[in-house]
Amino acid sequence: MKDNLKEAKIRAKKLRELISYHIKKYHTEDSPEISDESYDSLVNELVSIEEKYPEIVVSNSPTRRVGGEPLLFFEKIKHEIPQWSFDNVFDKDELIEWENKIKRYLYKDVKAQNLSYCSEHKIDGLKVILTYKNGVFESGATRGDGVIGENVTNNLKTIESIPAKLSEKVDIIVSGEVWLPEEELERINKERIKNGETVFANARNVAAGSLRQLDPKIVRNRNLNSFIYDIEKLGESEENTVFPKTQIEELKLLNKLGFNVNPSFKFCSSINEVILYYNKSKGEREKLPYGVDGVVVKVNDVNLQINLGYTAKSPRFAVAFKFPAEQTTTVVEDIILQVGRTGVITPVARLRPVKIAGSTVSRATLHNEDEIKRLDVRIGDTVILQKAGDVIPDVVRVLTELRSGKEKMYSFPKKVLECGGDGSIEKVPGQVAHRCVYPDSAVQQQRKLAHFASKKALNIDGLGGKIIELLMENNLISSFEDIFTLKKGDLVNLEGFGDRSAQNLIESIKMSKKVPLSKFLVGLSIPQVGEETAEDLAHWFKNLNAIESAKESDLVSVEGVGETVAKEVREWFKDDKNKKMLQKLLKHIEILPEKKQKEGVLSGKTFVLTGTLSSLSRNLAKSKIKSLGGNISSSVSSNTDFVVAGEKPGNKLFKAKEFGVKVLSEEEFLKIISM
């Protein structure tokens, strides 16, 4: 127990130091180094440690603080009403637990048993506090550390949506968010590119940085906007305006007074309605003109809000229901090797289970030995994970600041049991990857068979990895050909099979016997031949015989096929084992002519995608291009028309510049495919 307490104390100290560093980078310097999601993950870990070991809590812990220190070169303003930040929840179970906690806190109040809520978009901007005297704008400040903020009155006066004079002569203090429209970010970045300046990473940074400009003219030129969402204090007015009884009425009053109020707010009569609003907002977030990273949920009844009050840094009556994180932090518990169907070996990090992008993950790819060395990933390290689309997450950074000294370096072995034979492995010539010297182990064959039956290839419904394993264990299949010799009687007595399920699988196998050439090529597990390359080969050569007899020079002439791919394809079809396998397999398979590509506005245009697209998955992007008649290539050449560059683009972006290929931003690409 003492050892656990000692380790918790050391871990908490390192977390506090790291979180405080990132608070300063985010709130004070407006130059964050990690994503909001990764920051939240670090804070949540510290909170959980402090809750488990309250004796190690310190008074200046980041879990007790709000925002960052005010900048030195602005006049300081002490807030009349202390400021706060929201606690976060990340899924509906946590949201329901938050509601239950409220009800327990208010167990004596009858109204608390049937709570209603006001739900609003959580704007990714900079919080400001505005003070009006007799209806006239007097001063405005940033949140700062919650007690003292920066006086940014002159800069706020340049924002058109912040009224200089209200519709009523009232003394009032309000809070809200200053934000930059996405179209303004694009305009500003284009200007910065022309001027040879570095581009801004996101709209939030620009909004925060703009308000901290000493020259109000710069702020005016950036066309900032605002949403006001809370009344901090309401004084007397000539109209005898009284403090609203509900949060919804509060927003309506703010709008009536002349403030810009986000119209997306919604009254929710139950927590289930909040969840519906959240799901709808999550689906619409990419279409919004402002950044939004979740939904703010507030108890609608103001009297209940008052009764619930605040913790040291957050209101009990409100919570931020965050959208699924695409980045988060966790701990590497082990590094293992996975052998793929072509014998290529991929190192995988086994992780402390963590939620990311809406699902719990316990592993992440490390790609290859060189990547492990580049990242300096060690067993026991705290890492930042990133997930794009539905693929296995990547480790993008090691938080070396949190190392305790017990982390273990990983050494790539010379033998891997799953490789069969003597287990020897080797570097793939010309590549950073390793592979099995003897690529014929049972594990690899099982994966090849599962891939052959997958949707990307022959699409045999009901023949997944576990069924393949079951059939191999019972000596029913060991090759592609064997799949087509299965009978209903072979299956009915196997575990998990009945009369109907056995018949269904046999019918699925029959239906898969007619297959387009590209799908057939994908299913063969030819090294370097994925969906795109298979389609390129199928469209170019039209039939399997032409591909089998093609020389390397013929293959290289295909758009998207380089020398490495051409060599792998040629060697695969020259191999005697593969020739015999194809001869047997083609007795059961009818290869259909490849469908003629659709005509459309992108006919004849070839696209290469690089980096992560935020608004749609890579598969959907490819599908849209193909539906409009365009071609997809995996490599950049002089024949490439467009390279679409998302976040964190790779070497393809440099290749595009080398060949003089036009590079499209994600927004430019979306305009093209929506024509």
Give me 136's structure tokens. 């006239």
At residue 236, the 3 state secondary structure works out as strand
| CB-count burial class (<10 Å; 0-12, 13-18, 19+) for 265 | buried
List residues with catalytic annotation. 122
Where is 438: in which H helix or E strand? none
Bridge partners, residue 473, by sequence: none
Cα–Cα distance for residue pair 396/239, rounded to 1 Å: 57
Cα–Cα distance for residue pair 42/330, rounded to 1 Å: 9
Q: What is the dihedral of CA 120, 121, 123, 129, to 10 degrees?
A: -10
Cα–Cα distance for residue pair 451/520, rounded to 1 Å: 11
Non-local (6+) Cβ contacts of 381 within 8 A are 331, 332, 398, 399, 400, 402, 403, 407
**Amino acid at residue number 670:** L
523 half-sphere exposure, CB direction, 13 A CA radius: 26
Spell out where 143-277 has E strands. 148-150, 170-179, 225-237, 266-268
Nearest to 36 by CA among 290, 278, 323: 323
Nearest to 388 by CA among 322, 325, 455: 325
At residue 68, the 3 state secondary structure works out as coil
Where is 156: in which H helix or E strand? helix 153-156
Where residue 399 falls (left for φ over 0; alpha for ψ -120 to 50; beta otherwise) is: beta
CB atoms within 10 A of CB 464: 12
SS3 track for 526-563? CCCCCHHHHHHHHHHHCCHHHHHHCCHHHHHCCCCCCH
Cα–Cα distance for residue pair 342/653, rounded to 1 Å: 29
Cα–Cα distance for residue pair 299/274, rounded to 1 Å: 11
Give me 517's structure tokens. 């050439």
Q: How far is C-alpha 471 from the geometric centre of its chain's CA atoms? A: 37
Nearest to 459 by CA among 361, 592, 343: 592
- What separation in angstroms does the CA of 71 have from each of 159, 202, 205, 364, 650? 21, 21, 15, 39, 37
At residue 4, the 3 state secondary structure works out as helix
Q: Render 568-584 in DSSP notation, one character per residue.
A: HHHHHHH-HHHHHHHHH
Bridge partners, residue 345, by sequence: 339, 434
Q: List for the chain the helix, strand, coil content (%; round to 5).
A: 40, 25, 40
